[in-house]
Amino acid sequence: MPSSTINPTRMELTRLKGRLKTAQRGHKLLKDKRDELMKQFMDVVRENRALRKRVEEELMRAHSSFTVASALMSPEILEQSLLYPKQSVELDMTFQNVMSVDVPQYRFHTKSQDPGEVYPYGFAQTSGELDDAVDALSRVFQDMLKLAEIEKTSQLLAEEIEKTRRRVNALEYVKIPQMQENIKYITMKLDENERANTIRLMKVKDMLLKEAIEERREETLRATMESE
Amino acid sequence: MYRIAVIGDSDSVLGFKSLGLDVCPVSNAEQARQAIYRMAKENYAILYLTEQLASQLQPEIARYKDALTPAIILIPGKEGSLGIGMANVKNAVERAVGADIL
């Protein structure tokens, strides 16, 4: 059904044809974008799953050591020993452009490079399990950072894919068919007008011809009567 | 320069202090919500949040899901993993593809 508001004029037809061309071009480009995004997204999401599994496992191990440590030590001492961290982390964030989506990339640097520096306490009053827990956490931290990067990337990509998919579908199933329908409607209407015009001209010509014949006949009739 | 924070119950997050991360021990979801809002305004790039709290803070997490910062990343708390983190990965796939194809 063509929308009732369109004018069946030649100008409208040219305009619509131009729009249809743009829409088809846009549709093709968006489709390519969607496919490429999807490809990248699948890679990211696979890595995300694997990394998340690993991080969760390692964190559980760290937690269990920590639980044992907190059972062996009094809460005050535990809190005291972790109160002032020796280590500090600074995070740099840059952006990478994946198919017009900005995704973050993190780079962190610690204040001291020595891995032994993570223990902010003396060993005399703390239990060995606390050392284990801190050690496990410091090892999993690298993966946690990577997880943050990948998970954010996958979320942002998912959003963009959803948007692009909607656009592609709207163009493919609504916009383009509608425009084609309208173009067809205008062409038909214009053709119809053209035919009506031709018929009208033929009719007029017929009438003129008939009149001329009538006139000629009367003239000849008058001429024969005069000659008699 | 961006910062990293860990939000959760104190037993789950205390250990992260030794790594030099900002630790924000909270005892209930309301405090965690306040902390998320505050940190989102400051220059925190990553917030690690325990799944136990995340289960009560879905709207807040959804709100920052499409924002560039902060990235809210779920980690299992000391009670263990609830599978919310994994479910979120699955949700992302469903959102993008329309079906879970993995």
* B26-82 confidence digits (pLDDT tens): 888 888 888 888 888 888 888 888 888 888 888 888 888 888 878 888 888 877 778
Q: B68 lies in a domain?
A: yes
In a 13 Å sphere around the CA of B90, the CA atoms on its Cβ side amount to 8
Picking from B64, B30, B59, B31, the residue whose alpha carbon sits closest to that of residue B47 is: B64
**Percent of residues, chain A, with pLDDT higher than 90:** 46
Q: Which domain holds residue B32?
A: 3-97
B99 touches chain A (CB under 8 A): no
B11 touches chain A (CB under 8 A): yes
User: What top-level class would CATH report for the domain A10-85+113-181?
Assistant: mainly alpha
- For the ranges A71-75, A172-176, B55-59, B83-87, the maximum mean pLDDT occurs at A172-176
CATH number of residue B43's parent domain: 3.40.50.10580
Measure CA B54 to chain center.
6
On the question of pLDDT at A116 being above 80, the answer is no
Q: B102 lies in a domain?
A: no
Q: Do B95 and A162 touch (CB under 8 A)?
A: yes
Q: Name the amino acid, one letter, at A7.
A: N
Establish whether this prediction's ipTM goes over 0.85.
yes
CA distance A189 to chain B (A): 42
Domain definitions of chain A by residue range? 10-85+113-181
Domain count within chain B = 1
